[in-house]
Amino acid sequence: MTAYLLRRLFYAVLTFFGITVATFVLIHSVPGDPVQFFLGKSGTTHINYAALEAIKHEFHLDRPLPVQYWYWLRGILTFDLGRSISDRRPVTEVILEKLPNTFELNLIAFLVAATIGLPAGLWSASRSGRASERASAVVFFLLYSLPTFWVALLLMELFAVKLRVLPLFGMTSDEYLDLETAAKLGDRLRHLVLPVVTLAYAQLAIFARFSKSALTEVIRQDFITTARAKGATTHAVMWRHAFRNALIPLITLLGLTIPGLISGSVIVEQIFQWDGVGHLYFQSILARDYPVVLGLTVATAVVTLFASLFADILYAFADPRIRLEDPR
């Protein structure tokens, strides 16, 4: 078990450094000078050469790319993500300010997707071969295939523009601070509906299709036939026997869901103007704010790798064969 975990940790570290190098090279390859973006945003039209070079030197932008990466990596190893070029605040402070909003959005979307998707997959697997099972497979496939931005625009058009039952964008209404506590909660929930649905629908389809596939494989096993022959009810067979044995592949799915939600947040938060990490990521890329983009990349990579590592650990506990002998 120890060797298995050490091997997975080693792979995670290698992956982390690969992600940082790729992101560092890509973000610095994008045309545009971050200092010029910063000066334009601040309204400064004229600045002398010495001041401009001083700003570049502060962020090591006057050094070769490998040297810039070394300075940045040295800061990462000492838990220093640097300072934002746009507002000159520490990157850690900027990220932590937006993180609770993204965490709230992703957590609710994950719970919605799991709560609906897993039972839907179980229901579909229990009706294998029937017309309802084939229809549900088509629905799951369509949900997974629909582009996020297109679904977001459709939802906004229907519920915000035509029906006017939900807000178009933002986290709260203009009069939010004047509302009572219960009204504030209701207002916040109304603003959550469209982003959560947009973020959750594809993950819901993944949960449903994956759980259906896992359960379909399990219910073909001999022990399920034996349980049915002994008089076990369909509910008992599906939940007590089939679902428990299908948990192993579902554990892997958990490790894949979190990265999907995080990457989806960038698009969803930008479309709905949700003031979270995804929105910050998008704006930082446009502003060429290298420290913030790289800091967000590090944070996202760490969360993704830890989620995958956690899934591997659960997988090892769920399947003794993995922890006793891992040929890889």
* Mean pLDDT within 215-238: 76
Determine which of 5-9, 48-52, 186-190, 276-280 has the lowest per-residue pLDDT on average.
48-52
Tokens representing 323 are: 């922890």
For residue 82, is it within any domain?
Answer: yes
Which residue has 């790289």 as its token pair? 294
* Cα atoms found within 13 Å of the Cα of residue 52, Cβ hemisphere only: 13
Per-residue pLDDT, 255: 67
Is 60 exceeded by the pLDDT of residue 205?
yes
Per-residue pLDDT, 324: 54
Is 90 exceeded by the pLDDT of residue 192?
yes
Asked if residues 301 and 20 have their Cβ atoms less than 8 Å apart, the reply is yes
For residue 254, is it within any domain?
Answer: no
Per-residue pLDDT of 125-168, as tens digits, reads: 777 778 888 888 888 888 888 888 899 999 999 999 999 999 98
What's the chain's average pLDDT? 81
- Judge if 119 and 242 occupy the same domain: yes
- Judge if 106 and 136 occupy the same domain: yes
- Judge if 56 and 110 occupy the same domain: no
Is 60 exceeded by the pLDDT of residue 265?
yes
Of the chain, the percentage scoring pLDDT greater than 90 comes to 14
Per-residue pLDDT, 48: 67
For residues 98 and 277, what is the distance between their CA atoms, to the nearest angstrom? 5
For residue 175, is it within any domain?
Answer: yes
For residue 14, is it within any domain?
Answer: yes
pTM higher than 0.85: no
- Judge if 298 and 219 occupy the same domain: no
**Residue length of the chain:** 328
For residues 72 and 294, what is the distance between their CA atoms, to the nearest angstrom? 9
Confidence of residue 328 (pLDDT cuts 50, 70, 90): very low
Per-residue pLDDT, 162: 93
For residue 282, is it within any domain?
Answer: no
Name which residue leads in pLDDT, 200 or 243: 200
- Judge if 123 and 222 occupy the same domain: yes
Per-residue pLDDT, 197: 94
259 contacts: CB under 8 Å, gap ≥ 6: 300, 304, 307
- Judge if 196 and 244 occupy the same domain: yes
- Judge if 112 and 69 occupy the same domain: no
Per-residue pLDDT, 327: 47
Is 80 exceeded by the pLDDT of residue 262?
no
Please give the tally of structural domains in the chain.
2
Per-residue pLDDT, 154: 93
Q: Which domain holds residue 56?
A: 1-86+287-328
Biggest CA pair distance of the chain: 87
Per-residue pLDDT, 249: 67
- Judge if 130 and 18 occupy the same domain: no
Per-residue pLDDT of 35-93, as tens digits, reads: 766 666 655 656 666 777 777 777 777 788 888 888 888 888 888 888 888 878 899 99
- Judge if 70 and 107 occupy the same domain: no
For residues 178 and 201, what is the distance between their CA atoms, to the nearest angstrom? 33
Residue 275 — left, alpha, or beta (φ > 0 → left; ψ -120 to 50 → alpha)?
beta
- Judge if 114 and 3 occupy the same domain: no
Per-residue pLDDT, 155: 93
For residue 49, is it within any domain?
Answer: yes
For residues 8 and 182, what is the distance between their CA atoms, to the nearest angstrom? 47
Tokens representing 317 are: 């506990």
* Mean pLDDT within 209-233: 78
Q: What is the CATH number of the domain that holds 202?
A: 1.10.3720.10
Name which residue leads in pLDDT, 245 or 210: 210
Per-residue pLDDT, 271: 92
- Judge if 156 and 127 occupy the same domain: yes
- Judge if 118 and 205 occupy the same domain: yes
Name which residue leads in pLDDT, 323 or 178: 178
Whole-Å CA distances, 270 to 140, 151, 267, 287: 26, 14, 5, 15
3-class secondary structure for the chain? CHHHHHHHHHHHHHHHHHHHHHHHHHHHHCCCCHHHHHHHHHCCCCCCHHHHHHHHHHCCCCCCHHHHHHHHHHHHHCCCCCECCCCCCEHHHHHHHHHHHHHHHHHHHHHHHHHHHHHHHHHHHHCCCCHHHHHHHHHHHHHHHCCHHHHHHHHHHHHHHHCCCCCCCCCCCCCHHHCCHHHHHHHHHHHHHHHHHHHHHHHHHHHHHHHHHHHHHHCCCHHHHHHHHCCCCHHHHHHHHHHHHCHHHHHHHHHHHHHHHHHHHHHHHHHCCCCCHHHHHHHHHHCCCHHHHHHHHHHHHHHHHHHHHHHHHHHHHHCHHHHHCCCC
Tokens representing 95 are: 């990220």
For residue 106, is it within any domain?
Answer: yes
For residue 217, is it within any domain?
Answer: yes
Per-residue pLDDT of 169-182, as tens digits, reads: 889 888 888 888 89
* Mean pLDDT within 201-215: 84
